[in-house]
Amino acid sequence: MKQRTAIGLDAEKTTELASKLNDLLSNYQIFYMNARGFHYNIKGEKFFELHLKFEELYNDLILKADEIAERVLTLGHTPIHAYSEYINKAEIKEVQNVSGAQETVTEVVRSFSVLIEKQRVILALSDEMDDEGTNALMSTNITEQEKLVWMYSAYLG
């Protein structure tokens, strides 16, 4: 008989899911720091517009990172919480000293693409496990971020 977690999920499969969520968390944290840097350093004629958009972005990213970490805990595992681990795990890489509108927005779109791809993988796994909590979280994130990719892409022309 399969061992179950406190919320009734297959304990073995939650280990795999928690690992994927920790990988996703790492990417969120690096993206968050990049967005903070874009907010701080944006220059040019689009400064006022993008300065505000990047603040909205990093505020949303940190909330989503928190939700992911709490989901890892709900599954009975430990979220990673060291930047050294985030840097080692994340596919999204640190971006430094970027201040132009095109460069920053291009990086935002690229980062969202990474998150969406990872969330789709997690969604498929959590769906297979009948894990509605993780499904709902991933589905909501994907829906919101697909729209943001469209909007930021439209900005790029």
Q: Which domain holds residue 99?
A: 11-156
18: in domain: yes
- State the angle between helix axes of 11-41 and 101-128 in degrees (0 to 180), rounded to the nearest 10: 170
Provide the pLDDT for residue 137. 98
Number of domains in the chain: 1
2: in domain: no
6: in domain: no
Q: Per-residue pLDDT for the chain (157 aa), expressed as one digit of tens each?
A: 689 999 999 999 999 999 999 999 999 999 999 999 999 999 999 999 999 999 999 999 999 999 999 999 999 999 999 999 999 999 999 999 999 999 999 999 999 999 999 999 999 999 999 999 999 999 999 999 999 999 999 999 9
3: in domain: no
Structure tokens at 147: 């729209």
46: in domain: yes
Provide the pLDDT for residue 42. 98
Provide the pLDDT for residue 9. 96
17: in domain: yes
Q: CATH no. for residue 95?
A: 1.20.1260.10
5: in domain: no
116: in domain: yes
Provide the pLDDT for residue 96. 95
